[in-house]
Chain A
Amino acid sequence: GENVEQHPSTLSVQEGDSAVIKCTYSDSASNYFPWYKQELGKRPQLIIDIRSNVGEKKDQRIAVTLNKTAKHFSLHITETQPEDSAVYFCAASSPGRRALTFGSGTRLQVQP
């Protein structure tokens, strides 16, 4: 089955700096890669996703890049703000698989 590894487990940045979270996956057939954000005490919510036919996708201050050859994908947050503080989960799924496989999560702390 699919295995997704996520690094780092914790990340602390100063407000205004950039943050990068990286994930690797094991199944070369995987073709869908979403990122979820979970604020303290709240439910995870989708913030951005990418499919295997594109290498990068941006939405305002967040972007995701995908390297299918190396089987890794990354979340980039620019100009971080305190409200970006949360746990971020990457996930992957391959065709025919009905459920996502999640990474172990990254706790991002943005220091004001």
Chain B
Amino acid sequence: DVKVTQSSRYLVKRTGEKVFLECVQDMDHENMFWYRQDPGLGLRLIYFSYDVKMKEKGDIPEGYSVSREKKERFSLILESASTNQTSMYLCASSLWGAHTEAFFGQGTRLTVV
């Protein structure tokens, strides 16, 4: 069973804080993704990584950065949290690219106050 685990289920942070969201997968998948989920907007891609230390911007990368120092771990960083980054964040991994099943983490609901 593929397991994608996000470090926190709920987070509350203050405006201006630097926030780290962590994601770990245990299936040796090449690809990892960070999505943001908002009502009526679906899942929007923030960043993805197709190899260690490799990353590409998704559709909404502004205000975010990522780090992938090890194959199993992909971190999303909010450099200076703002209230409009209050959202549900979903991490996912897949064996290769977009043409194989994506396995999602349980999500982190981030509230920025």
Give complex CA distance A36, B59 in Å. Answer: 20
Q: Which of A54-62, A65-73, A101-109 contacts B (4 or more CB under 8 A)?
A: A101-109
Binary interface encoding of chain A residues 77-109 relative to chain B, with 1 for a CB under 8 A from any of its CBs, else 0: 000000000000100010001111111110000
In the complex, chain A residues whose CB is within 8 Å of the CB of B50? 98
Interface size on B, residues (CB 8 A): 25
**Once the chains bind, are A104 and B97 in contact (CB under 8 Å)?**
no
Give complex CA distance A44, B94 in Å. Answer: 13
For chain A, what secondary structure do more than half of its interface residues adopt (helix, strand, loop), or is it mixed? loop
Q: Does B74 contact A (CB under 8 A)?
A: no
**Once the chains bind, are B42 and A43 in contact (CB under 8 Å)?**
no
**Once the chains bind, are A34 and B31 in contact (CB under 8 Å)?**
no
In the complex, chain A residues whose CB is within 8 Å of the CB of B21? none
Interface residues of A, Cβ cutoff 8 Å to B = 1, 6, 9, 31-32, 34, 36, 42-46, 49, 89, 93, 97-105
